[in-house]
Amino acid sequence: MANDTGNSGTLTVRKSPSRSHSPARLMSPSRLASQNGDKDWDVASTVSSPASVPEYTGPKLYKEPSFKSNKFIIHNAISRCCLAGKVNEAQKKKIVEEMEKSTANHFLILFRDSSCQFRAVYTMNPETEELVRLAGIGPRVLCSSMVESIYKYSSDRKQFTAIPSKTMSMSVDAFTIPGHLWQSKRPGTPKKPSTPK
Residue 176's beta-bridge partner residues? 111, 149
What is the rounded CA–CA span in Å between residue 44 and residue 112? 61
Asked if residue 54 is part of any domain, the answer here is no
- The answer to whether residue 10 scores a pLDDT higher than 60 is no
Q: Domain total for the chain?
A: 1
In a domain, 36, yes or no: no
CB within 8 Å of 68: residues ≥ 6 apart = 105, 170
Q: What sign results for the dihedral spanned by CA atoms 178, 184, 186, 188?
A: positive
Residues 160-192: tens digit of each pLDDT: 999 988 788 888 999 999 988 886 444 555 555
The CATH number of the domain holding residue 105 is 3.10.20.360
Determine the pLDDT at residue 185.
43
Domain membership of residue 123 as a residue range: 71-184
Q: From CA 154, how far away is CA 170, in angstroms rounded? A: 15
Domain contains 94: yes
Asked whether residue 191 is domain-assigned, the answer is no
State what percent of residues in the chain have pLDDT above 70: 58
Does the pLDDT at position 26 exceed 70? no
pLDDT at res. 182? 84
- Which position has the higher pLDDT, 187 or 77? 77
Q: What are the DSSP calls for 8-58, one per residue? A: TTS--SSSPPPTTSTHHHHS-HHHHHHHHTSHHHHHHHHHSSGGGSPPP-S
User: Per-residue pLDDT tens for 43-69?
Assistant: 554 444 555 666 756 666 554 444 578
* Neighbouring C-alpha atoms within 13 Å toward the C-beta of 182: 12
Is residue 93 assigned to a domain?
A: yes
Q: What is the mean pLDDT of residues 88-111?
A: 93
Domain presence at residue 97: yes
Whether 32 is in a domain gets the answer: no
- Identify how many contiguous H helices and E strands the chain contains and give both numbers: 6, 7
Instruction: Specify if 96 maps to a domain.
Output: yes
In the prediction, which pLDDT does 194 show?
57
